[in-house]
Amino acid sequence: MKELFLRLMKTEFVKFCITGGLGLFTDAAVFHIMKRLLHADESRFLLFIIPVFGYTAAVTQNYIVNHLWTFKAETAAKKVSTELFFKFFLVSLFALAPRYLVYKEVLDYFGSSEWLYPDIANLCGIIAGTVVNFFGSKFLVFRFGKDEVR
């Protein structure tokens, strides 16, 4: 187990985190821009809807980068595909649960009265979803059986 952890830390996990960092930036930027454009600070409803747009942009970006770079050894003979994107998207949807739970808890704790609190809550939620996303991606999306082309 320790060897697996160390190997992941040196290769795919680090790449996944870098990719996730890019996704985090995309997600947070879309969230922040939409929050400002829609004046969502005054609407708790909008504060719970807007993250979906940043999330969708980040998931799409992350699938492509993870396919072409992070899990390149596993996907070298596979093209970016709708099938794998769908699996990646399902894993990401599953990871949305801890993301929203943490987002809601942090937002409930700090409130939304200060302009930065919703952004902090959003970032905390993104980080919580990263763990679920990595293991789901590694073991469910980009892992192929012996009979499949690698």
User: pTM of this prediction?
Assistant: 0.70
Q: Report how far residue 67's alpha carbon sits from residue 122's, in angstroms, rounded to the nearest whole number.
A: 25
Percent of the chain's residues with pLDDT above 70: 93
Specify the pLDDT at position 14. Answer: 85
| Cα angle for residues 3, 63, 80 (degrees, 5° grid) | 105
Specify the pLDDT at position 48. Answer: 86
Specify the pLDDT at position 9. Answer: 64
- In the predicted model, what is the mean pLDDT of residues 12-32? 91
Q: How far is CA 39 from CA 71, 108, 110, 115, in A?
A: 39, 19, 19, 11
Phi/psi of residue 62, nearest 5 degrees: -65, -40
Between 5 and 103, name the one with better pLDDT.
103
Nearest residue to 101 (alpha-carbon basis) of 51, 136, 38: 51
Between 49 and 115, name the one with better pLDDT.
49
The answer to whether residue 149 scores a pLDDT higher than 60 is no
Contact in structure between 63 and 75 (CB atoms under 8 Å): no
Residue 61: partners with Cβ closer than 8 Å, 6 or more residues away: 22, 23, 26
The answer to whether residue 139 scores a pLDDT higher than 70 is yes
Q: How does pLDDT run across 85-117, given as a tens digit for each residue?
A: 999 999 999 998 999 999 999 989 988 777 788
Q: Report how far residue 137's alpha carbon sits from residue 50's, in angstroms, rounded to the nearest whole number.
A: 25
Contact in structure between 40 and 47 (CB atoms under 8 Å): yes
Contact in structure between 31 and 119 (CB atoms under 8 Å): yes
Q: How does pLDDT run across 51-92, given as a tens digit for each residue?
A: 889 988 999 999 999 999 999 888 888 889 999 999 999 999
Contact in structure between 85 and 63 (CB atoms under 8 Å): yes
- In the predicted model, what is the mean pLDDT of residues 122-128? 87
Please provide the average confidence, as pLDDT, over all residues in the chain: 87
